[in-house]
Amino acid sequence: MVATADPVSLAAEREIGSIAARTVQFVVAPPSELSALVRTVYPDEGKLRHEIPPLTLEAKGGPHILVVDDDASMRLLMRTMLETADFRVSEASDGPEALELLAGSDPFALVTLDLQMKEMHGLEVLQRIRSRVATASLPVVVATGSEDPAIEMQLFEAGADDFVVKPVDAPRFLLRIQAVLRRRSANPLAGLS
């Protein structure tokens, strides 16, 4: 049995099943239920070393972050990590939806932006964010599956504040988000020309 907060694709299910050489059952559960599921499968393991903090559905009071990714499971993963750290989170499944939300009246403290999206490439979304007066200084952290230094340079030249490489490591991701927000609060006019 695999307990996950991230829905697994059918291809991944088949691959894990072939590696395990047996049928594997996947259970998608909210993070608050994962500890209980693990204890059910491994009752003799005793207390888990790292408890999964409960995720409440009530609105968080922290900075408001927009997560932009065309992969629903990646949005769920990032939302879960951010909400666990007391951020308020909104989601957009593509670039046009993100730009529409950013043009609305609800202010955002930061945007996490997928680079490889089908509807509109993340680099184009970033350029549009930087071209609007209202969002020119909005912190943007780009998520990419590439570790190519040329892409890193291209992102910073286009105005990204930071980037993370997928698959996203939760502690590192949260530290980068907090560092970008801390830098921006120390210099609120950064990014404005």
Task: Give the residue extent of every domain in the chain.
Answer: 2-45, 64-186
Instruction: Tell me, yes or no, if the pTM score tops 0.85.
Output: no
The answer on pLDDT for 5 being more than 90 is no
The answer on pLDDT for 50 being more than 50 is no
Q: Give pLDDT tens digits for 130-170.
A: 999 999 999 999 999 888 889 989 999 999 999 999 989 99
Dist CA 59 CA 73 (whole Å): 21
Dist CA 137 CA 191 (whole Å): 5
Q: What is the CATH number of domain 64-186?
A: 3.40.50.2300
Average pLDDT for the chain:
79
Tokens of 178: 């907090």
* One-letter identity of residue 167: P
8 A C-beta contact, residue 113 and residue 138: no
Q: Give pLDDT tens digits for 65-105.
A: 999 999 999 999 999 999 999 999 999 999 999 999 999 98
